[in-house]
Structure 1
Amino acid sequence: MSERLSVIIVDDHPLFRKGLSQLLQTIPGFRLVGEAAGGAEGLELARQLHPELILLDLNMRDMSGLEVLRGLRAARIDSRVVMVTVSDAGADVVAALRGGADGYLLKDMEPEAMLEALRDVAAGRVVIPPQLNHLLAAALRGESRPQSVGAAGLTEQEVRILEKIAEGLSNKQIGRELDIAEGTVKVHVKHLLRKLDLRSRVEAAVWAVEHMRG
């Protein structure tokens, strides 16, 4: 991978921050540009540096990762954000993804699994541990929304894009595969999320796996 993603780590545990920064140095696709020991500091650092990726702790002493996420979006900072947390509670997963997180990783993952997940992040894929997919799927099933592509009124192009989202592809990768502009993909993603009454591409990926099998 020729381009390296600029990354900041926002976490109030020094030992974990150090371990994660060392792990990042083993992946050619990343360039660590800053670290923050709390949410407010992380928000300020993101405003200054506009990194392409933020690895964000969910539970910090000064402010929660969700509050940081809301602050980032309110400030129109469009960095990709991956939550890195100890919480595998369904409510936290759903809240993070609906808040606009692009992924959700658990701190107790094996180093090899974390490394693989971070490589996926570098490649532009959405990351969520398989065991958490079930929690998210259960949360989505408990709500009223279209249960099929037909019921949602998705166009053929939107269905193709939804399939690619379910494969974990980024907008740029989808555009390349379908030979359309990345901006066009973004518009289609926005429309299909509205039609499916979903708030994030991770939810869309889980919905697709649940409703578009075979």
Structure 2
Amino acid sequence: MKPTSPIRILIADDDALVREAYRSFFDGQSDFSLVAEARNGAEAVDAYMVVRPDIVLMDLQMPGMSGIDATAAICARRRDACIVALTTFGTRDYIVAALKAGASGYLLKDTGADNLIAGMHQALRGDMPLSSSVRRQLVTSITADEPVTTPVDVGLTPREVELLQWLTQGMTNYQIGRQMYVSEGSVKQYLAHIGDKLGVKSRTQILVRAIQLNIVDPHHMPVPQAMPIS
């Protein structure tokens, strides 16, 4: 179902040509409206608080306040902020820093128009858009840092742990619901409860923390259930 009003976007990028390209692109998208632009992190924070966009596309390396610091500042004030890092940098340090700051996803600028639109919709649904190379870097970084040999008991139920296992495979909420035979709304409720228990908020941070605490193993692939033909 299409939204009744366009999705409102804030673009933060220090390159004027990049902002112009985004402006031209979203002008041709009836489902989106570019409502604000920022040239650095400080402007992004100020613009977010004024226009309260539905989603932010945040460059990371900008003069003055970086996109990572801006993401942290926005998320500290607005728990429900939806910020997708959109950058040319796909190295571990950038990825981990952005996701720890509260980014809802991490896409590379060469992702392509279709993948960008799909990723934005994923982020707004509470899913976790990550470029494939970014996902590999993320898993490598998490498993290399802060190793925990024994799973930490934070009071998760067996069903919550099962959901985390599907989450490590990059599934969307809809796909997880199909595997667990629950609605997409129920998956979102599960994630909210898990986030509360882990002390984090975004879907990405839930994944990071669950792997760090050895609750799930990103290298263990659960066997998907065969879906009935409808």
Tell me the amino acid that sits aligned with residue 193 of structure 2. Answer: V
Q: Contact between 1:147 and 1:211, CA under 8 Å: does it hold in 2?
A: no
Tell me the amino acid that sits aligned with residue 162 of structure 1. Answer: L
C-alpha distance 26-213 of structure 1, shift in aligned 2 (>3 A): farther
Distance 2:32 2:183 in 1: 24
Percent identity reads: 25
1:137 aligns with 139
Q: Contact between 2:13 and 2:19, CA under 8 Å: does it hold in 1?
A: yes
Cα deviation, 1:62-87, whole Å, max 9, x if unaligned, reads: 21111101211232353111111111
The reply to whether residue 177 of structure 1 matches residue 195 of structure 2 is: no
Q: CA deviation at 1:147?
A: 6.9
The reply to whether residue 187 of structure 1 matches residue 189 of structure 2 is: no
Q: Normalized against structure 2, the TM-score is what? A: 0.73
1:167 aligns with 171
Cα deviation, 1:72-111, whole Å, max 9, x if unaligned, reads: 1232353111111111111110111111111111123334
Q: Normalized against structure 1, the TM-score is what? A: 0.78
C-alpha distance 183-111 of structure 1, shift in aligned 2 (>3 A): closer
Q: Contact between 2:173 and 2:188, CA under 8 Å: does it hold in 1?
A: no
From 30, 35, 51, give the equivalent of 2:32.
Answer: 30
Distance 2:149 2:220 in 1: 10
Q: CA deviation at 1:118?
A: 3.3
Q: CA deviation at 1:129?
A: 0.6
- Gapped runs of 5+ residues in structure 1? none
Tell me the amino acid that sits aligned with residue 47 of structure 2. Answer: L
Q: Contact between 1:7 and 1:32, CA under 8 Å: does it hold in 2?
A: yes
Distance 1:89 1:179 in 2: 34
The reply to whether residue 213 of structure 1 matches residue 218 of structure 2 is: no
From 89, 94, 103, give the equivalent of 2:96.
Answer: 94
Q: CA deviation at 1:125?
A: 2.4
Distance 1:76 1:189 in 2: 16
Tell me the amino acid that sits aligned with residue 75 of structure 2. Answer: R
1:82 aligns with 84
Q: Contact between 1:125 and 1:169, CA under 8 Å: does it hold in 2?
A: yes
Distance 1:16 1:202 in 2: 31
1:42-81 mapped onto 2 (5 Å cutoff): 42-76=44-78, 78-81=80-83
Structure label with greater radius of gyration:
2
Distance 2:53 2:101 in 1: 19
Tell me the amino acid that sits aligned with residue 194 of structure 2. Answer: H
> Alpha carbon RMSD of aligned pairs, Å?
3.4
Q: Contact between 1:23 and 1:115, CA under 8 Å: does it hold in 2?
A: no
**Greater shift in the superposed pair: 86-95 or 155-164:** 155-164
Q: Residue 183 of structure 2 aligns to a residue in which SS?
A: helix
From 205, 208, 227, give the equivalent of 1:203.
Answer: 208
What is the aligned residue count?
207
Tell me the amino acid that sits aligned with residue 50 of structure 1. Answer: R
